[in-house]
Structure 1
Amino acid sequence: MPCSNHLSLRWHGKRCIQLVAATVVFLVICDQLGVTLHIAELDYQSEFRYPLEEDVSSSVESLKLGLEPDIHPINQYNYPFISDARRKCLDLNGNLQPLRLVYIVKSALDHLERRAAIRYTWGFEKRFSDVDIRRVFLVGKGSDAKVQRGIDAENAEHGDIVQADFADTYYNNTIKTMMGVKWAANYCSKAMFYAIVDDDVYISTKNLLRFLKHPTAYPQYWKEAFFASEQPAGKKTNVGVQRLKQVESFLDQQSGSRNKLYAGKVMHKSPLRHKFSTWYISVEEYPFSMWPPYVTGGATILSGDTMIDFYYMSHYVKHFRFDDIYLALLAKKLGITPLDNPEFHIYPDKPYASNDYEYVIAAHGYSNPQLLTKAWNEQKSLGNA
């Protein structure tokens, strides 16, 4: 009997150790997956707040007018420009030009081939003789002197590199984006629209311009104007051509839906709390259950008014390391609602098919410059780019 009791105790001891070990493993997994962090979140709808929490509207207006604001700014992106492409938006007399569209392309120091492909595809400034377009590339600073010499040579040839003195790393994307916003506000402030775009994105400038004519109704208004259902593929009736001209003429006179445009692929998502994710965010850094509605990074379209508002409001909104979320925080503070459009294929990607890109504005997944060039040239020949 004593022997039996001894064996029983040993079995129970082993069992306890196993249970303790399993519990520890379970808790570790829960911690890594962020289960406990989700429990600690605050409700976004009822409890959202983000510094600065007071009304700063009068101070923002003072900054716009060059006056001393009542409230001192809490956030300034004071990274010196190494190269600023300050003449990019000037006319021959040195005055700022009123432009239709400016591409601000977020790039990396060693992405020379991507930039080259963009210059001669969707970023080609003379794509349309009657539409004034400009293009710049945003980069930070690295530690490789050879790479920097290459950047300097590239800028000497093309004059389109905006480089600022911050480390060019993924988690500095907000700095990169906001230095682009700062550049626009200081050196290129008379454009109607700006597109902040990653260098691995396909863009149809033609479709983007069509979208900008009627942001809330693209592509439907365009499809209807074509009367495509009555004609063979790719053909338009004389009535259809006349109707298109009437639509474009009318829309060129309208601006109501475009004055405060912040558009692209709009997301309604929760913060990722699992710790192995690139996009992990602690509760301390952002305690709320949802992000503000945001335009996912890759292709963000801003009207000129929105770009300027974002720049000045950023002085009163605490820095956040994800650039698409930071722009959403600026928009929320300004009362600007992001506009979603299904022809921004940023997440998930839209695999290329020549017959399936007729209305596409933007598509992610073009890190291969040869693929970008091939797709764009095909779509241009089809009249879609």
Structure 2
Amino acid sequence: MAQESQWELVWLLRSDPAPQPSMKGLLLILVTSAPGNSEPRQVIRRTWAAHEGPRAPQWQSVFLVGQSADIGVAQGIQREQQEFGDILIGNYQDTYRNLTLKVMHGFKWVAERCQPSYILKTDDDCFVNTDRLPEFLLEHNTIKTGLYAGSLFSREKRQVIREPSSKWYVSRQDYHLDEYPPYASGIGYILSLDAVERILWAAEHVHPIPVEDAYVGILAERAGIQVKSSARFAKHNVRWRVCNYRYLMVIHHLSPQEQEVAKGSMLQARSACHDSLEVTRWK
């Protein structure tokens, strides 16, 4: 199917069955996940997506999953959704090149059905500090509208890749400039609800490209939203200390075992490191 007709589907996508998050909550976490990634989803459900603590009712997580050509995998997704009720199933083929469709589908669903104050987009190989992020948004964040924050790429890494064999390939016809505007890495970025709505508006006027995070940056620029650089979103998984979990909000590239360890460090950080001053800014 051609990219244009695939893109038109995003405005007609069904979610059957659809998760039912609480309306008007503080934070909704959208997690992109491949249909066959049942183990990462299970690990997330029992680690950072498990509702624990006083802030739990103010946030929820939802997995974004597309269609699988494997009938067994597709049936497994339906059973998983029936059991957990936390998967938004889109009517598009789940491929890397369709990641833009997946995220825009999630944004549209959030804007129309949920309307939380903030949306975090992340991936299923990332750890989200759900013990700190909701509290930070509620008590310390001063940017209530037009918020778009994450880990930015340097200018040299924003060059458009024209090599057809690359999974990040974008033709000059799809995007004529040689450099993307500043944008936050897809490992995790946070948006206020109005920013999501303005990005969806811009998407009606800007041709899509199959590089999801860069496309969101293009739409944000079109909508007049300036991305904010934040070191709280870590592109790399290193040997983080317990005290780092008083600061970091998203960490990329964790194995299932490392997710378990990270959860333990997150909980331990509640009572540890009180001799150090907590940072209450995005930087």
Q: Taking structure 2 as the reference length, what is the TM-score of the superposition?
A: 0.84
Q: Does 1:379 align with 2:266?
A: yes
Q: Does 1:103 align with 2:29?
A: yes
More helix by share: 1
- Aligned with 1:166: secondary structure? strand
| 1:194-228 residue CA offsets vs partner (Å, 9 max, x unmatched) | 11110000111233235435xxxxxxxxxxxxxxx
Deviation at 1:350, TM superposition (A): 3.0
Q: Which runs of 5+ in 1 are unaligned?
A: 1-73, 90-96, 214-247
- Equivalent runs, 1:232-381 vs 2, <5 Å: 248=139, 251=140, 255=142, 257-267=143-153, 268=155, 269-346=158-235, 349-355=236-242, 357-358=244-245, 359-366=247-254, 368-381=255-268
- Mapped partners of 1:205, 1:104: distance in 2: 13
2:66 aligned partner: 140
- Mapped partners of 2:200, 2:171: distance in 1: 27
- Which runs of 4 or more aligned residues in structure 1 lie more than 4 Å from their structure 2 counterparts after TM superposition? none
Q: Report the RMSD for the aligned CA atoms in angstroms.
A: 2.3
Distance 1:203 1:98, change over 3 A: same
| Bigger mean CA deviation after superposition, 121-130 or 134-143 | 121-130
- Mapped partners of 2:91, 2:8: distance in 1: 17
- Aligned with 1:265: secondary structure? strand
- Aligned with 1:298: secondary structure? strand
Larger Rg: 1
Q: Which of 111, 118, 121 lines up with 2:44 in the alignment?
A: 118
- Aligned with 1:105: secondary structure? strand
| 1:97-138 residue CA offsets vs partner (Å, 9 max, x unmatched) | 321110111001011111111112222245434651111110
1:78 maps to a residue whose letter is W
- Aligned with 2:132: secondary structure? helix
- Aligned with 1:324: secondary structure? helix
- Aligned with 2:26: secondary structure? strand
1:194 maps to a residue whose letter is I
- Aligned with 1:87: secondary structure? coil
Deviation at 1:384, TM superposition (A): 8.1
Q: Taking structure 1 as the reference length, what is the TM-score of the superposition?
A: 0.63
1:271 maps to a residue whose letter is V
| 1:226-267 residue CA offsets vs partner (Å, 9 max, x unmatched) | xxxxxxxxxxxxxxxxxxxxxx4xx5xx85x22110110122
Distance 1:182 1:353, change over 3 A: same
Deviation at 1:361, TM superposition (A): 1.1
Distance 1:264 1:384, change over 3 A: farther
- Equivalent runs, 1:170-249 vs 2, <5 Å: 170-189=96-115, 191-213=116-138, 248=139
Q: Which runs of 5+ in 2 are unaligned?
A: 1-6, 273-283
Count how many residue pairs are aligned between Structure 1 and Structure 2. 262
Distance 1:376 1:314, change over 3 A: same
| Bigger mean CA deviation after superposition, 275-284 or 196-205 | 275-284
